[in-house]
Structure 1
Amino acid sequence: MLEKALQGVDLVVHTAGPFQRAEECTVLQAAISTKTAYIDVCDDTDYSWRAKSFHEQAKAAGIPAITTAGIYPGVSNVMAAELVRAVRSENGEPERLRFFYYTAGTGGAGPTILTTSFRLLGEDVIAYNKGEEIKLKPYSGAMTIDFGKGVRKKNVYLLNLPEVKSAFKILGVPTVSARFGTAPFFWNWGMQAFANLLPAEFLRDKVKVQKLYKSVDPLVRAIDGIAGERVSMRVDLDCSNGRNTIGLFTHKKLSVLVGFATAAFALAVLEGNTQPGVWFPEEPEGIAIEARKLLLERASQGTSNFVMNKPSWMVETDPKEVGLGIYV
């Protein structure tokens, strides 16, 4: 049925749900068999690497495919790749890469982001420290991060996100982690409570999580109307030459931003900037290096704050004393 539906289609965009089993890549397989270009908006580590396992099949079929091609992961991966490339072009070497994300409420995504978040609370956080894989507790390791104008300082917490593993393996950065936070602040308390009190087996059960979501849905929708759906991504890179650089990306509506980001990836594929095979966004065969700038420009339409390759003090909201009473 899928193969028949894809006949004559130039590109298929697949939303891999939060409970999609890693072995289920039927849409990708159908795209390969019908020679249809493919991207997915996936935020599951296991699923993304299962998709990557079809690389040789897609390459043999001459089909370009990108997995995790949304906003985060997706645009955030491309931002990280560009930060790393800039540092290496100056003979530096990346040492630590950190992804920080903030979304007000559910970002207008409702059950999608909630069910994804609940599922992630049932997974150990995979991070990397000096080349070694480490496992950490979900929604632990709180940090206060300054997302700049319009968002300012927010608390963020560790989550198991796919860009951590792909950045470690593809970009070759030895220390990588990802953190996420939301608002109002008490939603973070609730997430910590779920992570600490509910068994992992419960959080991995689709039926039970859907029941949990339905029980809190009315409250979530009411608060979403007040919280809005502002989203911000900050990617920090620390380097061997002492240089610390960041990328920052802020938009007032996550629901709009996801559309721009996905469209940017789709256009990149259709314009021939992706080689045959299955790629992560940070791979140059997935999004050609010379096409990254245009992709970021397209994805950043309507942003209130978008900067790349800047020191953190240039975008943070609190002034820093640089000496002799001079503040920047």
Structure 2
Amino acid sequence: MKYMIYGATGYTGELIAKEASAQGQQPLLAGRNPEKVAAMAKELGLAHKSFALESVSQIAAELADVDLVIHCAGPFELTAEIMMKACIESKTHYLDITGELDIFELAFSFHEQAKAAGVVLCPGVGFDVIPTDCVAAQLKAKMPDATHLQLGFDSRSRMSRGTAKTSARRIGEGGAVRKNGKITNVPLAYKSKKIDFGGGEKLAMTIPWGDVSTAYHSTGIGNIEVFIPASPKLVSRMRKMNWFRWLFRMEFMKNWLMKKIDAQPAGPKDEERAKYYTWVWGEARNAKGDVETMRKQVLNGYTLTAKGAVTMAKHVLTTEHEGGFSTPSKLYGADLVEQFLYTPEAE
């Protein structure tokens, strides 16, 4: 079975490629820059190819002998659709590491086409959204009649440039929650509350995280919100931005933000990732007011993404699947997160 890591020279793509190599696997490395892809392939002793994402037929031809792609080249709002369509055409399983809400819903819209082709479409096989998705599924198992679900995470690790770009491009759209089964656009910092994610109580605010899509598909719970810690100052600033966030829908503003982000470091260094683990939290509630709460201490998000993507690729390639859209917890099982719990020796 042959699989490809596309976008292997980006910060997270490189982590995935190195994790796969460390596990004795030999994925095909690919990306848009021939020199960078060749240099990484030489360093890891792996095969490589380079191609741009120009047309569905062109990409499908490049994937003709590839069984699975781990797509790492974001922002995914610009690259995921064409890669998904090419994977369906070439009958190549598709995984990615997105956290973009719209991309999960896009993949879901291709469910029937992918199922007919026998192709698995499973976005979010990294920190976005393995741990939160598994917590959601485990809470659903503990409370089958849950009507409301809140999820969140607390990480002190810096963002990579790719994650920062994704977040920045979304600002103009505001926040998002799920109400009565429907994804609903809401203001930035729509809700705030104090939450003990696992390391003590903190003020937190809602964000338009991927679980607003995936947790619904994994659990069927119709009301979903996702939170991260935020200082009172940040909550206030985000709420003030609602008055002029329309500006951030303009391409010139997006380009300005992208240039500022490009000046930042690629992502957290190895020692930072080893030091800063993540707390993941979830709370389910039913119509009677009963509550189930769950907390898990997991690896740093980028380390988890590298290990999670490789684990999911191995699983898809060695297990029978009927194809179509899926979430990590549905595809692998809600116990997937248990492989990525943090211990001092885990990194």
Aligned residues between the structures: 283
User: Separation in 2 of the partners of 1:227 and 1:264?
Assistant: 19
Alignment of 1:1-328 (within 5 A): 1-15=58-72, 17-18=74-75, 20-21=77-78, 25-88=81-144, 93-106=145-158, 109-129=159-179, 134-148=184-198, 151-168=199-216, 171-181=219-229, 185=231, 188=234, 192=238, 195-196=241-242, 199-202=245-248, 205=251, 206-214=254-262, 217=264, 229-240=276-287, 242-251=289-298, 253-272=300-319, 274-282=321-329, 284=330, 286-287=331-332, 291-293=333-335, 295-300=336-341, 302-303=342-343
Deviation at 1:155, TM superposition (A): 2.6
Residue 11 of structure 2 corresponds to none
User: Separation in 2 of the partners of 1:173 and 1:262?
Assistant: 26
Deviation at 1:105, TM superposition (A): 4.2
What's the TM-score once normalised by structure 1's chain length?
0.73
Deviations 1:254-308 (A, max 9, x none): 22122122233223322326431122335x4x34xxx432x223233x357xxxx
User: Separation in 2 of the partners of 1:226 and 1:190?
Assistant: 29
AA aligned opposite 1:94: A
AA aligned opposite 2:163: I
Q: Which has the higher helix share?
A: 2
What's the TM-score once normalised by structure 2's chain length?
0.69
Deviation at 1:14, TM superposition (A): 1.1
User: Separation in 1 of the partners of 2:82 and 2:319?
Assistant: 24
- Report if aligned partners of 1:31, 1:37 keep a CA contact under 8 Å in 2: yes
- Report if aligned partners of 1:181, 1:188 keep a CA contact under 8 Å in 2: no
Deviations 1:33-60 (A, max 9, x none): 2222211212222222222222122111
Query: Aligned residues: percent identity?
Result: 22
1:7/1:170 CA distance change after superposition, 3 Å: same
Q: Which runs of 5+ in 2 are unaligned?
A: 1-57
- Report if aligned partners of 1:232, 1:248 keep a CA contact under 8 Å in 2: yes
User: Separation in 2 of the partners of 1:21 and 1:128?
Assistant: 24
AA aligned opposite 2:61: K
Q: Which runs of 5+ in 1 are unaligned?
A: 305-328
User: Separation in 2 of the partners of 1:142 and 1:19?
Assistant: 28
Deviations 1:105-164 (A, max 9, x none): 42xx4212222222332223222345576442113422221122xx32333211112311
1:303/1:238 CA distance change after superposition, 3 Å: farther
AA aligned opposite 1:138: L
1:175/1:95 CA distance change after superposition, 3 Å: same
